[in-house]
Amino acid sequence: MPDRSFAAVLARRDEIVAAALGIDYGAFERGELAFEYEALMASAGTTLEDVRAIQRAAKVGSTPLLELPALTRLARLGAPAGKGATILVKDEAANPSGSFKARRASVAVHEAARRGYRGVVAATSGNYGAAVASQAAMRGLDCIVLQEVYDSLGRGQPEILEKGRACEAYGAEVWQLTVGPELFYAMLLALEETGYFSASLYTPHAIAGIETLGHEIGAEVLERYGRPPDAVVCTNAGGGNVTGTARGLRAAGCGATAVIGVSVDLRGLRMDSDRDFNRKSFTTGHTGFAMPFLLDPDRTDVPRSAARPLRYLDRHVTVTQGEVFYVTEALARLEGLERGPAGNTSLAAAIPLARELDEDAVLVVQETEYTGAGKHPTAQLTFARELGVEVRRGHPSENVPGRVIAIPRSPGELSAVEVDLDEIRRGYLGRAVGDRPLDSLGDVDLEYLAAEVGGLPVATVAGWLEAESREAGARA
């Protein structure tokens, strides 16, 4: 019997993951810190048409692309003359498990079945777990979903509890854990003891599953409007949503479409804090995930993440919790669509972003998600009040994560706050290079880093690194 202690299990991480995925990540390593990203993606062995076929068989994809005329009019009310793009939404709630995560899960579970695994394991707050459980049920595979749910007082967020209920409805075995490092430990233990497939969010299979979403958006807008979308707005957390959507848009011939990431601003709250964990109303799509993963995309349960958002983002903006709740109600009241609320993060940003574009422009909100008892704004806001968070009407600038949720009084108060992507890029480069001497980096490393930060010129990247090295020397 292997040693099941925390330290021993984590020490066996690489061999456990290799057995659960069958990917030799070492084969893609190059130079001092580079790896062959496109070769890793190609290792999934599936073309876009392959993924389409997998998803058709699994009742996934080909979701409606809906024009939102009422919200478009709302955006134009506060826009300068001639401004206010048409807003569309890709209604991913139409997938079997109610979110775009079904696209990721369909390919991962297909791969598990193809290779003869008896079951799958996923660690997730919920939507992805429900998607994996749904797909596993279709294929007759066992499924274990691990959720980080409770604080030390045994309180669980309504949204996470609702998602756990959904996982169980599809027949999954749900392990509900407390906040802390035990989630990753428990996943490794489950993989080792069961021999199941790791349905990680960050494998090439999972990202390939989202590429169909970007491709559908691009192809449908081209057919309907005779032009590519001017912008596609994606909720950003771990980066897979942005990565897969952007790759699919490029495959559809929409490489000039602006890809805009959106996250709920939860700065000041620590996601690994027992106190802070439940003081957020959104379990994903917030800065507590987005910013760490932008700076270090490989902080995942695989050695090299296939989600590389900085490669694809043209812009990144933040919205507040109150703005998302406001837009969730507006979508229901004005368009007759009850969705979210977490899935409405990008929609909250779309209204102010549409005001920047001309009236003949097309802006697509890339996804929605289903709603349910625990996911409804009423449950979320009631739970926030129980924890002492003040919920009231107010300008978005009055939001204080973990203390105040200010819900706008009018659509004119909605805004999208710009994130300095160049600052994020420099932060990524500094972390990636670390203490390595710059002269230890070869051409392959510099070319890799340039691709990682959005395809900037190698000379620009080298200049940033040299400037950072000089500043670090001066500080020392």
What is the CB-side half-sphere exposure of residue 308 using CA atoms within 13 A? Answer: 22
DSSP 176: E
Residue 475 has a pLDDT of 63
Top-level class of domain 6-48+99-202: alpha beta
Q: What is the pLDDT of residue 246?
A: 98
What percent of the chain is predicted at pLDDT more than 70? Answer: 99
d(CA 148, CA 54) in angstroms, rounded, equals 30
pLDDT tens for each residue of 264-316: 999 988 877 888 888 888 888 889 889 999 999 998 888 999 999 999 999 99
Residue type, 410: S
**C-beta neighbour count of 280 within 10 angstroms:** 23
pLDDT digits (tens, 9 = 90+) for 70-83: 999 999 998 999 99
How, if at all, do strands 197-198 and 119-123 pair?
A: parallel
Cβ burial 294-327 (10 Å sphere, 16+ → b, else e): bbebeebbbbbbbbbbbbbbebbbbbbbbbbbbb
Cis, bond preceding 352 (omega within 30 deg of 0): no
Look at residue 30 in the predicted model and tell me its pLDDT.
94
Instruction: Note the pLDDT of residue 472.
Output: 66
Whether residue 46 contacts residue 460, with contact meaning beta carbons closer than 8 Å, is answered with no
- Residue-wise pLDDT for 98-120, tens only, equals 999 999 999 999 999 999 999 99
Catalogue the E-assigned strands of 271-402.
Answer: 315-319, 362-365, 390-393
- Which one of 3.55.50.30, 3.30.70.100, 3.40.50.1100, 2.40.50.140 gives the CATH number of domain 50-98+205-418? 3.40.50.1100
SS3 215: helix
Reported as a single tens digit per residue, the pLDDT across 404-430 is: 999 999 999 999 999 999 999 999 999
3-state helix, strand, coil in the chain (%, to 5): 50, 15, 35
Please choose, from the candidates 70, 142, 58, 68, the residue with its C-alpha nearest in 3D space to the C-alpha of residue 104.
Answer: 58
pLDDT in tens, 198-214: 999 999 999 999 999 99
Give the Å distances, CA to CA, from 281 to 90, 236, 325. Answer: 23, 16, 10
Tens-digit pLDDT profile for residues 172-206: 999 998 887 788 889 999 999 999 999 999 999 99
Q: Is the pTM above the cut of 0.75?
A: yes
What 3-state class would DSSP assign to 146?
strand
Of 337, 409, 329, 363, residue with least CA distance to 72: 363
The number of angstroms, rounded, from the C-alpha of 173 to the middle of its chain's C-alpha atoms is: 24
Q: What is the pLDDT of residue 124?
A: 84
pLDDT score for 473: 64
Averaged pLDDT of the chain: 93
With CA atoms as reference, report the closest residue to 242 among 140, 389, 367, 425.
Answer: 367
Burial of 249 (0-12, 13-18, 19+ CB in 10 A): buried
- CA distance linking residue 225 with residue 217, whole number of Å: 12
Neighbours of 272 (CB within 10 A): 12
pLDDT tens for each residue of 342-362: 889 999 999 999 999 999 999
Whole-angstrom distance, CA of residue 125 vs CA of residue 52: 27
pLDDT tens-digit readout, 205-248: 999 999 999 999 999 999 999 999 999 999 999 999 999 999 99
Question: Tens digit of pLDDT for each residue in 5-63?
Answer: 999 998 998 899 999 998 999 999 999 999 999 999 999 889 999 999 999 999 999 99
What local confidence, expressed as pLDDT, does residue 341 receive? 86
Report the Cα–Cα distance between both ends of the chain, in Å, rounded. Answer: 49
Question: Is pLDDT above 80 for 126?
Answer: no
